[in-house]
Amino acid sequence: MKLGAKFWRRVAMALCAYAFLAPLFYMLSVSLQAEGHGLGGSWLAAARDPHWENYVRALERMGDWRRLIANTLLVSVLCVGGQLFTCSLAGYAFARVEFRGRELLFAGVLATLMVPEQATAIPRFLLFRSLGLVDSFAPLVLPSVLGGSPFFVFLFRQYFLALGPELGEAARVDGCGHLRAWWSIFLPLARPMLVTVGLFTFLAAWNDLWTPLIYLMSPEKSTLTLALASFNRSYNTAVELMLAASAMVLAPCLLAYFSLQRLFLRGIAIAAAKR
């Protein structure tokens, strides 16, 4: 009975994996077809004569792809660094620092999760315009640097609570203040959660189209997602090149996830285990 249940569980997992991997396989298969023939064959069949030059041609049609990668990487790295700093610090405060109204304030932070980003788009745009920051990377980075994700604050709080109270007591005995304890003791132990939040932030910043579309006007400040959207409008009949460009934009995300998968899953498991 147990063997049968294990077998069917593996079958179900294999089917789920196939359902998620099939679109990726389709994208790679069509991207290697000859131009004009990508949609003619079966989407399950691999390209018999792969045209790797599609990737080179896609890069050429995207424009200054080196600048696009540099802009996107700069924004993503700044977002990751700012999010890790502010959210880990806030999570530590809610988990380890005793102050009046802490639980009420934390409930208010969680309540902001129910506010959709589109509802704050216009007030945020007016704020950045009044500060003269439109057509710069500041509107893309500052919300993350200032701790713009209450969900990540929640994850860090849960992780720091799961570490146990004896660490804080030992830090106080050694004469550490809260900032020193956060930096020297809790952050090194929170590596799985740092990876988890960093990976979430990197994927969101790398794939973000909404924010650059609103705030960036100069072509030299464009990101990969803006270039990909412009590519789709300009060469919407070249499906093979479009999917080749999409695969190249997607590649860093897949590489980051699979290289950090173990720490990512560990961070999620530890945070979820704390009630």
Residue with tokens 């007030």: 123
Residues 194, 84 contacting (CB under 8 angstroms): yes
The residue-averaged pLDDT of 65-75 equals 93
DSSP at 177: -
- In terms of domains, do 242 and 170 share one? yes
- In terms of domains, do 204 and 175 share one? yes
Report the 10 Å Cβ neighbour count for 162.
17
> In terms of pLDDT, which residue wins out, 241 or 38?
241
Q: What are phi and psi of 217, to 5 degrees?
A: -115, -30
**Residue 92 class from Cβ within 10 Å (0-12 exposed, 13-18 middle, 19+ buried)?**
buried
Report residue 83 CA to chain centroid gap: 11
User: What total number of domains does the chain contain?
Assistant: 2
DSSP at 101: T
- In terms of domains, do 5 and 114 share one? no
The residue-averaged pLDDT of 36-46 equals 61
2, pLDDT greater than 70 = no
> What is the C-alpha to C-alpha distance for residues 196 and 270, in angstroms, rounded to an integer?
11
Q: Dihedral sign for Cα 113, 115, 117, 122, please.
A: negative
- In terms of domains, do 141 and 220 share one? yes
Q: Print the domain residue range for 13.
A: 1-51
> What is the C-alpha to C-alpha distance for residues 49 and 72, in angstroms, rounded to an integer?
33
- In terms of domains, do 111 and 5 share one? no
What's the chain's average pLDDT? 85
The residue-averaged pLDDT of 3-28 equals 83
What predicted TM-score, i.e. pTM, was given to this entire model?
Answer: 0.86
What is the CATH number for 107? 1.10.3720.10
Lowest mean pLDDT among 4-8, 45-49, 221-225: 45-49
265, amino acid identity: L
The answer to whether residue 39 sits within a structural domain is yes
Q: Dihedral sign for Cα 42, 34, 53, 248, please.
A: negative
pLDDT confidence band for 47 (50 / 70 / 90) = low
- In terms of domains, do 75 and 1 share one? no
pLDDT confidence band for 237 (50 / 70 / 90) = low
Question: Tokens for 75?
Answer: 């924004």
The answer to whether residue 57 sits within a structural domain is no
- In terms of domains, do 170 and 127 share one? yes
Question: Tokens for 42?
Answer: 């079966």
Residue with tokens 């315009």: 129
Q: What percentage of the chain exceeds 90 in pLDDT?
A: 32
20 contact partners, CB below 8 Å, separation of at least 6: none
Report the 10 Å Cβ neighbour count for 217.
10
**Buried (b) or exposed (e) across 189-215, using 16+ Cβ within 10 A?**
ebebbbbbbbbbbbebbbbbeebbebb
The pLDDT of residue 126 is: 94
Lowest mean pLDDT among 46-50, 80-84, 117-121: 46-50
Q: Dihedral sign for Cα 163, 167, 169, 171, please.
A: negative
Residues 199, 260 contacting (CB under 8 angstroms): yes
